[in-house]
Amino acid sequence: MSTLTEKRNLLQEFQAAFEQQGLGQNLLRKQALELFVAKGLPGTKSEEYKFTPITRALEKVLSFSTGISENVTPSLLQTIPDLTCNVIAFINGKFSEEHSVILDADVKIQSAKALEPSIDSDPFDLLNQAFANELVEISIEPKKSIQHPVVIIYYFDSPDFVFANPRWSCQMGPQSSASFIEYIQCKGETKYHNNKQSSINVGENAHVEYTVIQNGTRTDLQTNNTRIHLESNSTLSCFTFTFEGQLIRNNLSVIIDGQGVDAQLHGLYLLTNNTIADNHTVVDHRKPNSASNELYKGVIDGNSKGIFNGKIYVRPQAQKTNAFQSNRNILLSENASVNTKPQLEIWADDVKCSHGCTTGQLDEEALFYLRSRGISKEMARGMMLYAFAAETLSTMKNDTVRNFVDGLISEELQKSF
Amino acid sequence: MLSIKNLQAKIDDKQILNGINLEVKAGEIHAIMGPNGSGKSTLASVLAGREEYEVTGGEVNYLGKNLLEMEPEIRAREGVFMAFQYPVEIPGVSTINFMKTSLNKIREHRGQSALDAVSFLQLMKEKIKLVEIDQSLLSRSLNEGFSGGEKKRNEVFQMAMLEPKLAILDETDSGLDIDALRIVANGVNQLRSKNNAIIIVTHYQRLLEYIAPDFVHVLYKGRIVKSGTKELARELEAKGYDWIKNELALA
């Protein structure tokens, strides 16, 4: 793209690295790379990335090291405290069978073939497909209810920059249920770009809870392409929490491809330092009689920036759809900012849809009310921000995970206020 | 207990209080009445420490200390309580948790130990009887979705929990139907003691039918222009505020 600086030509570097790693023998990868090159990296004029300078960030740090170790001490891999769970581990971007732990026999893992790349994909999705080591496929048999959550952990430990392309998918059979948690862990000062692609296909009458916890290092760069496909009478409860990182872009697509579906999307970006967190969500109603509800909240302090773009499509045949979206933000400093944009495209005529977004400061009147009852200013601020933020996790079913995230919220709020 | 001398205050560039003088002793109930815009709520707000108001002159002495120098939370911990004219809705903060935090902060200030969960609930159950408030309401977000009457009863409930030395009721009767008014007044009456004082800010005389004040003051254009007993309130009700205005104009 023309907006790239003269210093580096990242597209050429990606191509060279692709050749060097001998990835061109696989035709699908080659196709993906060609499509990626044709699309180019998004510059500041790109409509989808105009607030998110990911290309500039990559120009500063990206490097392709070959000697990245996959051998790490397993004890360093930690999931959420007190959580008994299945673990699927990606070490420096590569799936590690050795460090993955499957407790529930009904969770099956195998290597799978990639699908044909599409020109409609996000450039980072194509980049992932070109560079991903393998597609890890998780399958859950019909009618099986998976007792323990499946934690997908991205672990980084390397002296060199890691350009990581983990890729996984999950097939959930009809009437099954499972919960997934994605989590990044990093040893020391490892610098990385985690360019993830994942998909979950949720069968008829199946239920899924999907939680993403983004609390990486201050130099953490992430681009996540996540696709969830829902069939009739299935339910989704999705949570995306962003606390720390340099630049995080989440593309979350939820495709409602059946009747009687209930999709709940919750998001919280609680940014206290110098983080850019960008959530682009798509809820695509393709069939009638389904419901979606989306609530994303932001608390933004320091020099941080929040971006929310919420697309809702209601296709012509998706009559009797209920689709709601809300994005609410609190800005705590002069330099904090948010860009929010709801985008509703409705072709069906018998639907209930609404959206709303608010951006403001803490309510001074409410602060005074709390203070007038003996509560200090700092504590009153903390109480109000906590109450604002914690609403996003109130419907989470797993107590251990909810308490963990609750703890992260409290910690972030105390750290900075 | 409270001694206000020549208190002057403004908001933005508008001077509202033009020299208030008031002495309140323990055990007394004072009613501050006056027409709209006379400065009644400003006086309550200045006493509670609302920051939008700038004190431009005078002094307020509370139990031997300069009240105006204290942060709002310190005033509360020292025993000042304001029942809000418009109690604020705070989503996500339950009344119970809020009251527990509040009470324990005040107890800490008094050198008392924090109440444990059981004693707190016991105390709460005892106090909610005073205002006939449904306990389930208190587990909900503070004032969120409460009716006008429920909000005012919640204010009196909080007052009962915190046992202030000086309570300021800012138009607590506004928006109340006759039953709610009786309940609120009853709650206040039961909290009345020889050790505490209450200032009732009101536009109407009707609350004073239920809570008998020792003194009634009429505020007009930021000054107390007339003081008397509860008979004064009745007279005002009968003659209207124009009576005072005319009297002042003549003088």
ipTM for the whole complex: 0.95
Mean pLDDT of A199-217: 96
- Enumerate the residues of chain A whose CB falls inside 8 A of the CB of residue B72: 368, 371-372
Mean pLDDT score, A7-15: 89
Cβ neighbours of residue B97 closer than 8 Å, sequence gap 6 or more: none
Compare all CA atoms of chain A with the CA of B90 and give the residue at the minimum distance.
A366
Q: What is the CA radius of gyration of chain B?
A: 18
Whether B84 contacts chain A with CB within 8 A: yes
**Region A351-363: what's the mean pLDDT?**
94
Sign of CA dihedral B132, B138, B142, B145: negative
Give the mean model confidence (pLDDT) for residues B194-221.
Answer: 91
The label of the residue with tokens 């460090």 reads A99
Tell me which of A67-76, A385-394, B37-46 is least confident. A67-76
Percent of chain A clearing pLDDT 70 (strictly above): 95
B30 contacts: CB under 8 Å, gap ≥ 6? B22, B24, B197, B198, B199, B200, B213, B214, B215, B216, B217
pLDDT of the residue at A5: 47
B159 and A CB contact within 8 Å: no
**B180 contacts: CB under 8 Å, gap ≥ 6:** B149, B152, B153
Interface probe for A, chosen from B80, B90, B102, B105 (most Cβ of A below 10 Å), is B90
Query: Hey, is the C-beta of A391 within 8 angstroms of any chain B C-beta?
Result: yes
Q: Answer for the pair B131, B173: CB distance below 8 angstroms, yes or no.
A: no
pLDDT tops 60 at residue A417: no
Q: Which of A371, A372, A383 sits opposite B93 (nearest CB)?
A: A383
CB B53 within 8 A of CB B140: no
Residues whose CB is less than 8 angstroms from the CB of residue A139 and which lie 6 or more positions away in sequence, other chains included: A107, A108, A109, A110, A170, A171, A172, A173
Position A270 scores a pLDDT of 96
Taking CB atoms and an 8 Å limit, are A390 and B101 in contact across chains? no
Are A266 and A236 contacting, i.e. CB atoms less than 8 angstroms apart? no
Whether B76 and chain A come into contact, CB under 8 Å, resolves to yes
Per-residue confidence at A286, pLDDT binned at 50, 70, 90? very high
Is the confidence at residue B218, as pLDDT, over 50? yes
10 Å CB burial of residue B242 (0-12, 13-18, 19+) is: exposed
Which residue do the tokens 């919960």 mark?
A179
Is A372 in contact with B72 (Cβ distance < 8 A)? yes
